[in-house]
Structure 1
Amino acid sequence: MKKTKVDWSIFFKAVVTIALPIALQNFLSTTASMVDTIMIGSQGELSVAAVGICSQISSLFFSCYFGFAGGSLLFFSQYWGAGNEKGINKTFGLSMVFMLAIALLFGTMAVTNPEWILGIYTDKENIIEVAVPYIRIVGFAYPLQVLAMLVSFLMRSTERVKAPLISSILALITNFVLNWILIYGRFGMPKMGAAGAAVGTLVSGIVNLCILFTFLLKDSRMVKLRIKDMFSWGDGFSKVYLSKCLPILCNELFYGVGQMLINVVIGRQAESAIAAMAAFRVLEGFVFAFFGGLADASSVVVGKEVGAGHHMKGYQYVKGFALLCPAITFVICSIGLAFNRPLLGLFGLGSEAMFYGKYMIMIYLAAGTIRTCNYIMNSCYRAGGEAVFGTVLEIVCLFTISVPATWIAGMVLHLPFLAVFAFIYTDEIIRLIFEVYYTRSGKWIKPVTEEGKAMVQQFREELRG
C-alpha cells in the first residue's frame, strides 16, 4: 500500500457506477413515502399536519430497526469484498428476524391503539382525529418496509443497483396513481382523504417488495440465498453480528428518542408551525434521501475495500465522500431556498406557515450541509467496522446539547418558533470537529474478515509514515 492523495478518476468512477444509482433509488424510495404529504396538501393545513405527525412515528420506527439494517450493510459489503457467500446468507437471515420483530411491534401499536401513540406527539385533538385512520392503515405496511430495505441493502452491497432502482420507480408510480384516485375520489371511488393516501402507501409497499424478490430470486449468479445458511448461527456468528449491530442500534434508537422529544416540542407549537414543519420535513427528506443514498453507497464502496484488505483505498474513498456529499447538499439547499415559494406552495400552507418554511430552509442551508458531512463519516466508520465512536459522539451531543436547548427554548422560555427550530441543529458543529479528526486518524478501520484483519498493521504503519 502507498499513502497517496485521493485518485479522483477512480473515485468518480465509483460514484457514477455505484453511488449515483443507489442515491437515486434511495431518493425515489423516500419520495414515495413523501408523496402522501405533498398530495394531501389540497386538503388543507390540518391534513398536512396530521400526515406529518404520522411521519414522525414512522421515523421512530425507522430508528428502531435501522441499527440492524446498518449492521447488515457492514457485513454484506465486507463479506462481498472477501467473497464469503455463506456469511452474506447468515447476515440476511439474522437481520430479517430482528427487523421483522420490530416491525410487528410497531405495526400492532399503530393498528390497535393509534390514539395513544399519536397523543405522545401532539395535544391537538383535531390533528389526532385526522391522523388515526392514516396511521392505522400504514401500520400494515411496516413489515413490508423492513423486508424491502433488507433486500435492497443486500442487492446494493453486491453491486446490483439497477433492480432496487426499478422497483422504487414502479412503487412511486403506484403510490402516486392510487393517491390521486383515493384522496380525491376519482373514477367513482370514495373520497378518502388521508386514509386514501395510506392505502396508496400500503399497496406501493407490496409492489416494491414483490419486484425486489422477483429480481433477487431470478438473478442468483452473484449471491444465492439458501434457507439452511440463513439460519445457521451456531458458530458464534450471532455474537459477532450483535457486537457490531448493537452500537448502531443504540445510536439509531437513542437518536430516535431524541428526535421524538424534539418533535414533542414542535407538536406543542401553533398549528401553522406544525404544518410548516411537516412541509419542511418533506423537503428535508428529499435532501436526506439523496445524501443518505450516497452514504449507503459510500458504505458499500468502503466496506468492500476494507473487507478485501485494501485499507488505504477505503481510507481515500472516505475523504472523497466527506468532501463531495456536503457540497451536493449545499447546492440542493440553495436551489430549494431560491424556489421556496413554489415548493412550499405544494402543501397548501397559509401565509404564516409559508413564512416559517422559507426561513427554516435558510437555517438548514448551513445546518444541513454540516449534518451531511457528519452522517457520511459516521456511515463510513460503520462500514470500516467501527460502530462505537460515531454512536457515542452523536448521542452525547444530541442529549447534552440539541435536545436540552430545543426543550428549554420551546417548553420553558417559549421562544418564537424559528428560534426553537434553529436549536435543533446546535450539536452538529461540535460533532464535525471530532469526526474530522477521527476520520484522519484511520482508527475506524476494524475489519470483520480475515483478509482485512491481515492488512491492518501494514495500513497503520503506512498511515503513520
Structure 2
Amino acid sequence: MKLISLFSDKKFFKETIKLALPIATQNFILSSLNLFDNIIIGGLGEVAIASVGLANQFFFLLNLVLFGVVSGASIFTAQYWGKKDTTNIKRVLGLCLITAIFASAIFTLFALIMPNTILSIFSNDPEVINMGGNYLRIISLSYIFTAISFAYSVTLRSIGHVKAPMIVSVIALGINTILNFALVYGVGSYKGIGVYGSAIATLIARLLEFAMMLYIVYKLKTPVAASIKELSDLSFEFIKKFFKITIPVILNESLWALGVTVYSVIYAHMGTSVIAATNIVSTIDRLAMVIFFGFGNAAAIMIGNKIGEKDEKSAFLYANRFIILNPLLGILMGVLIYIGAPSILFAYNVSAEVHNYSNSMLHVLGIFLCFKVFNYTNVVGILRSGGDTKYCLFLDIGGMWLVGVPLVALTGLYFHLPIEKVYIFVFMEEIAKFIVGLPRIASKKWINNLVVH
C-alpha cells in the first residue's frame, strides 16, 4: 500500500514524462548518430571500425570532461530556476562556456599536433593508428563548437526547455546520416572517400548544430539568451562557489573517463577483433541507456527545482520514486537486450569471431544493466542535484579504480580470459557502487540548498 501511494502522484509523472522523453529522444538521436556511423563504417571492414572507434575514444574523454562541466553548472541552474533567478543562471552559463571552451581547445590542440601518438596508446596496429589519426585530425575541428552547443543545450534542459535541444539534434542527425553515407561511399559519379568522408560529414553536422542552437536561443529570446556582459558578470565569490561544487564533478567525469580509457587499452591489447566487438557493444550500451539518461536528468531537474524552492520533503520523495522506477525499467531493458542480441547484431558486417564476442558481451550487459541504471540515477539524478558532489566523486571513482579497473586488468592481461568473461568484471564496479550508494539516499545528507542567500 505504501509503494502504491509513493507512485500515486499524477502531477509527478506528467512532469517526469514531459522532461524525460525529449531528453531521452535527444540522447537517442546522439547515440543513433554513433550507431549509424558504426554501421556505415562497418561496411569498410574491421580496421575501419577499430580506427574510428579509437579516434572517437579521444572525443569520449573530452565529452566526459564537458559533461562534468555542464553537470556542475546544471546543479546551480536547476536550483536557481526553482527560485526563478535568471540573472545568476546567466552567470552560471557564462562560467560553463568559459570552462568548456578552454577544455575543448586543449583537446583540439593535442588532436591536431599528435593524433598518431594519442592513438598509439590504445593500439599497436600501424594501419589502425594511421587511419584513426587522420580521422581524428579532421573531427577535432568540431570540438569547440560541440562544447558551446552542449553548454547551451544542458542549460536549456535544466530550466525545463527540453524541446529546442531535441529539435536541433534531430536535424543534426538527419544531416549527418545523409552526408555520412554520401561522403563515405559516394553518390552517382562522385566516389566516396571512406573513413575520412565520415569525419567531414560529422564535422559539418556539428557546425550546423552549433549555428542552429544559437539561433534558437537568441531568436526565441529564451531565459538563457544572455549578452556578453551578463555572461561575464562574475564575482570572485560566485566563481569560488561554482567551482567548489563543479570541480569534484569534473574530476569525477575525468577520472571515470580515464578508467574507461584504461578498459579500452586492455581491450586493444586483446586484439583488433576485441576492439571491434567492444566498440559495437559500447554503442548499443549507450543506445540502451538513453531512456535512463532522460529519467536521470529529469530527476536532477525536478529534485534541484524543489531544493531551490526550499521544499526538501518533496525533493526526498522524488528521489525515492526515481530510485525505484528507473532500475525496474532497467530490468525490462536488460531482458530485451539479452533476448534480442542476435537480431541487434544483424546489421553489422563483421567476422564470425567479432559477432560471437559481441553476442556474448550483450548477454552480460543485459544481466547487469539494472545496476548501471541505479547508479546513474543515484549519482547524476539524485546526489548531484543536492550538491553532494564530493560523495559522488568518492562513490564513482572508488568503484571504478578500486574494483573495476584492477579486476579487468588482472583477468584480461594476466589470466588472459576471453572478452565475454573479462566484461563481467567491468560490472563489478556497478555492484560495489550499488552497495555503497544506496544508504546515502536514505541519510538525506545529500540535500544542500546552494542558492540560498
Q: Same fold, TM exceeding 0.5?
A: yes
- Does structure 2 retain, via aligned residues, the 8 Å contact 1:73–1:153? yes
Distance in 2 (CA, whole Å) between partners of 1:247 and 1:366 is: 31
Displacement of 1:235 in angstroms is: 5.0
Displacement of 1:404 in angstroms is: 0.6
* AA at the equivalent of 1:107: T
Over the aligned positions, Cα root-mean-square deviation in angstroms equals 1.6
Distance in 2 (CA, whole Å) between partners of 1:25 and 1:33 is: 13
Of residues 242-251 and 269-278 in structure 1, the stretch that sits farther from structure 2 once superposed is 269-278
Displacement of 1:292 in angstroms is: 1.9
User: Aligned in 2, Cα 1:266/1:220: closer, same or farther, shift over 3 Å?
Assistant: same
- Does structure 2 retain, via aligned residues, the 8 Å contact 1:6–1:317? no
Distance in 2 (CA, whole Å) between partners of 1:436 and 1:163 is: 34
Of residues 291-300 and 72-81 in structure 1, the stretch that sits farther from structure 2 once superposed is 291-300
Aligned to 1:194: 195
Distance in 2 (CA, whole Å) between partners of 1:11 and 1:223 is: 25
2:50 aligned with 1:45, yes or no? no
User: Aligned in 2, Cα 1:422/1:33: closer, same or farther, shift over 3 Å?
Assistant: same
Q: Where does 1:10-409 land on structure 2 (aligned, <5 Å)?
A: 10-220=11-221, 222-379=223-380, 380-409=382-411
Of residues 26-35 and 232-241 in structure 1, the stretch that sits farther from structure 2 once superposed is 26-35
1:336-369 deviation line (CA, Å, top 9, x unaligned): 3333223213221211111111111111112221
Distance in 2 (CA, whole Å) between partners of 1:134 and 1:290 is: 30
* AA at the equivalent of 1:288: M
Displacement of 1:224 in angstroms is: 3.7
Of residues 9-18 and 222-231 in structure 1, the stretch that sits farther from structure 2 once superposed is 222-231
Displacement of 1:423 in angstroms is: 1.3
Distance in 1 (CA, whole Å) between partners of 2:236 and 2:129 is: 49
- Does structure 1 retain, via aligned residues, the 8 Å contact 2:19–2:294? no
Where 1:450 maps in the other structure, the secondary structure is coil
User: Aligned in 2, Cα 1:125/1:13: closer, same or farther, shift over 3 Å?
Assistant: same
Aligned to 1:454: none
* AA at the equivalent of 2:128: I
- Does structure 2 retain, via aligned residues, the 8 Å contact 1:32–1:172? yes
Aligned to 1:443: 445
Aligned to 1:433: 435
Distance in 1 (CA, whole Å) between partners of 2:21 and 2:170 is: 15
User: Aligned in 2, Cα 1:88/1:278: closer, same or farther, shift over 3 Å?
Assistant: same
Distance in 2 (CA, whole Å) between partners of 1:290 and 1:58 is: 22
* AA at the equivalent of 1:443: K
Distance in 1 (CA, whole Å) between partners of 2:360 and 2:6 is: 39
Distance in 2 (CA, whole Å) between partners of 1:277 and 1:194 is: 19
Of residues 91-100 and 7-16 in structure 1, the stretch that sits farther from structure 2 once superposed is 7-16
Distance in 2 (CA, whole Å) between partners of 1:251 and 1:333 is: 26
Distance in 2 (CA, whole Å) between partners of 1:337 and 1:365 is: 5
Distance in 1 (CA, whole Å) between partners of 2:210 and 2:451 is: 30
1:214-258 deviation line (CA, Å, top 9, x unaligned): 110022254441321211222510000000001111111111111
Of residues 122-131 and 66-75 in structure 1, the stretch that sits farther from structure 2 once superposed is 122-131
* AA at the equivalent of 2:449: P
Where 1:120 maps in the other structure, the secondary structure is coil
Distance in 2 (CA, whole Å) between partners of 1:221 and 1:167 is: 15
TM-score, with structure 1 as normaliser? 0.93
1:280-316 deviation line (CA, Å, top 9, x unaligned): 1110111233322322221111111111111111212
Displacement of 1:406 in angstroms is: 0.6
- Does structure 1 retain, via aligned residues, the 8 Å contact 2:180–2:198? yes
- Does structure 2 retain, via aligned residues, the 8 Å contact 1:163–1:215? yes
Displacement of 1:263 in angstroms is: 0.9
Displacement of 1:212 in angstroms is: 1.3
- Does structure 2 retain, via aligned residues, the 8 Å contact 1:60–1:256? yes
1:53-72 deviation line (CA, Å, top 9, x unaligned): 12221211122222211111
Distance in 2 (CA, whole Å) between partners of 1:318 and 1:56 is: 33
Aligned to 2:422: 420
* AA at the equivalent of 2:386: G
Of residues 188-197 and 273-282 in structure 1, the stretch that sits farther from structure 2 once superposed is 188-197
1:101-148 deviation line (CA, Å, top 9, x unaligned): 110111111122110000011112221122122111110111121111
Of residues 96-105 and 14-23 in structure 1, the stretch that sits farther from structure 2 once superposed is 14-23
TM-score, with structure 2 as normaliser? 0.95
Distance in 1 (CA, whole Å) between partners of 2:194 and 2:222 is: 45
Aligned residues: 448
